[in-house]
Amino acid sequence: MQLARLGVVLLLAIALSAATLPLKEVRDWNDRPLLTGTAVVLKPGGEVVAITYITEGKVEGELPWEPGYILKIAWGHLTIDDIKRGLATWIYDSSNLWDVAGLGNPVFPKILTYVYPLTVTVQDRDHRPLPGCRIRLVDAVTGGRLYSGEGETGSDGSAIIVPRLGAISQIPPGQFSVEVYCGDILAAKGSITIDRGVAVPAFGLHVSMVIDFVRSLPIVGGIYGEGYLILRGVKFVNGSIGDVTVPFRAGDRVLVLEREVPLLNQSAVLHLTRLSVGGFHQPGRQLSGTLAELLALLSSSEQVSVTVVDRGGAVRKEWHVEVLLGNNAVAYGQGRVEVMLPPSALVGEYKARVISPSGLMKEIPLSTSDGRAEAVVTAVVVTVQAVDGFGEVRRDWEVEIVGVAKGAGEISAELVEGDVYEAKARALGFVNSTKFNASDAVIRIKIPTSRLAARVVDGFGVVRSDWNVEIRGVARGNGEVGPVEVLAGRYVVATSVFGREFSQTVDVPVGKVVNVTLDVPTARLNVSVVDENKKPIANVTSVEISGPVNLLLNAPGDVELLAGVYTVRVTALGKSASAEVSLEPGKVANLVIVTPGTAAQSKVDLLLVVAVAAVGVAVAIYVVATRKR
């Protein structure tokens, strides 16, 4: 019914119309003069008949009009080419019955348009107004050629948007880019869309914007320091692009910026000129990223934990554990430490250091995941023994786990499971070592020893305690030596008798007792001297023995010699005689040497001896008889 009435009004208007439109004024939705516009008359097929401009609400020229023509009004002064390119934002269209009904008939001297006043309010995230900020809007299609407006926020954070060169707030339907400048730098940007024919309050359109500023933010982890942020590619209110430097201080769990900084997705560089964590100064650092990333990094923390456990998972409180940053322990505990620290991406990589009860010190990298850095160390008890070639633990030998512990015979120590260590044993001037992966085990280090005994015997198998015997480089004694402990290997057993050396080389295997008998091939020679009558000659001047052993005797008798062939020469009663004899080891040889031409002389000597003996007996008898009286 309503549409029918509209059609009747339109027909009457056309009937009463003249050759030109009587249109004189064009106004906005609130019946205020339209700042700028273009009135276009078109044929039903869309062909442009005529255009004229509208300035400050006044229609500058006449427009032809015939039944069937269409009147459209666009925001801004446009050319026919602009219209053909589709750049026009139509704020009135007589072909739309709703426009005719709501805004006015094209044959009326005045019509309204879909142009509204606009107020933009700016607040921070805590809903506090932000005064002194400049707001700029441009149309999204041409970037400001068709529409450009701005306003400055007052104490309540609101700004009335006024088109360029205008005096009142007006904005047509469409999409617009919005930029907010606070402190002369771009603080926020976005877009708004104003629908054609939207229901508008009497006071006009109102848009609220929230700007995320940061001036201070909480931090954790005990970081202290100072530095500055460089905001890259900042847009200034005058249109230029540049960098902005913002100093800051960090301490007492808060970071304070020297000025408020809007949180835009822009690149930034963080310079930490002075940094202290856990009371220790750290080298300055430089990090790059977006502003949001860097601020998030500054305010974030990392949970760091170091634990030492046994194979059963129980915490080993006897171990001292530390969290290292550089070479400094920023946190420590017994068996376990867990602490919130600044993120490693900000201050550098953390490491773990564990110290065993025996003093073993080891640094371990931390594994990082989901804001956590941790190290779990498994401690195992390892026993190292020094054993001899017979498999016996030797309490008198030195044993050690290099860099960890030393002891005698056997030591036990807690080590980090899976790590490689070196164990050593020392004995008899020999060092044996082995490398092992730590686990609950007994490591046996063998010194390859044996036992060696030596004795020296004559040709009759008798141990000769009057002869020396030695294991060269090891030990010596009289007749016998050992058993003594030696390293497996080759040895020489030796003795020196009769001016000659006798030796034997022996190979001694590991874990064996080796007995060495050194045989000296001796024999005995009994020399007797007789005359042609086979009578012993008492007066023998010399006995000269020549052979493997040379001897000179004053009288014949029994002597020990080395086995071999000998020549024996005797001198008696001014006469000499000789004989050759072969001595076999362990045999006694009796050699009788006849001295020719000594029989008569030996009788005289014998009578003399008898006479001397008789006189002796008489004297003895006389002495006895005298004592009896």
Q: Give 298-332 pLDDT, tens digit per residue.
A: 888 888 999 999 888 899 999 999 999 888 898 89
d(CA 68, CA 95): 9
Q: Does the pLDDT value for residue 366 go beyond 90?
A: no
pLDDT given for residue 10 in this prediction: 39
d(CA 431, CA 354): 30
Q: Does the pLDDT value for residue 619 go beyond 70?
A: no
Mapped onto helix, strand or coil, the DSSP state of residue 129 is strand
Q: Number of helices (H) and strands (E) in the chain: give both, helices first.
A: 6, 50
For the stretch 258-296, pLDDT in tens is 988 898 888 999 998 888 887 888 888 899 999 888 888
For the stretch 542-596, pLDDT in tens is 999 999 999 999 888 899 999 999 999 999 888 899 999 999 999 999 999 998 8
Average pLDDT score over residue span 611-617: 37
How many Cα atoms sit within 13 Å of 275 on the Cβ side? Answer: 20
Average pLDDT score over residue span 412-441: 90
- Under the banding of pLDDT at 50, 70 and 90, the label for residue 127 is very high
Q: Does the pLDDT value for residue 160 go beyond 90?
A: yes
pLDDT given for residue 136 in this prediction: 96
What value, to the nearest 5°, has the Cα angle with vertex 408 and ends 406 and 411?
55
Task: Read off φ and ψ for residue 507, nearest 5 degrees.
Answer: -95, 125
Neighbours of 237 (CB within 10 A): 16
How many Cα atoms sit within 13 Å of 562 on the Cβ side? Answer: 16
Highest mean pLDDT among 86-95, 219-228, 347-356: 86-95
Closest CA to 580 of 565, 558, 563: 565
Average pLDDT score over residue span 599-619: 43
Dihedral-angle region of residue 438 (phi above 0 means left; psi in -120 to 50 means alpha; beta otherwise): beta
DSSP 8-state class, residue 20: B
Dihedral-angle region of residue 238 (phi above 0 means left; psi in -120 to 50 means alpha; beta otherwise): alpha
Q: Does the pLDDT value for residue 617 go beyond 90?
A: no
Question: Model's pTM, two decimal places?
Answer: 0.60
Average pLDDT score over residue span 366-372: 79
- Spell 100-121 as b/e; 16+ CB within 10 A means b: beebbbbbeeebbbbbbbbbbb
Instruction: Find out whether 256 and 228 touch, Cβ atoms under 8 Å.
Output: no
- Under the banding of pLDDT at 50, 70 and 90, the label for residue 221 is low
d(CA 442, CA 605): 88
Tokens of 593: 């040497």
Q: Does the pLDDT value for residue 363 go beyond 80?
A: yes
Percent of the chain with pLDDT over 90: 65
pLDDT given for residue 596 in this prediction: 85
Extended strands (E) in 236-279: 241-251, 254-262, 267-277
- Residue indicated by tokens 């490398």: 435
d(CA 548, CA 566): 7
d(CA 425, CA 510): 16
**Which positions ≥6 away from 106 have C-beta within 8 Å?**
13, 21, 23, 65, 71, 94, 100
Give CA torsion, residues 332, 335, 339, 343, to 10 deg: 80
pLDDT given for residue 266 in this prediction: 85
Instruction: Find out whether 455 and 479 touch, Cβ atoms under 8 Å.
Output: yes
Tokens of 208: 């609220």
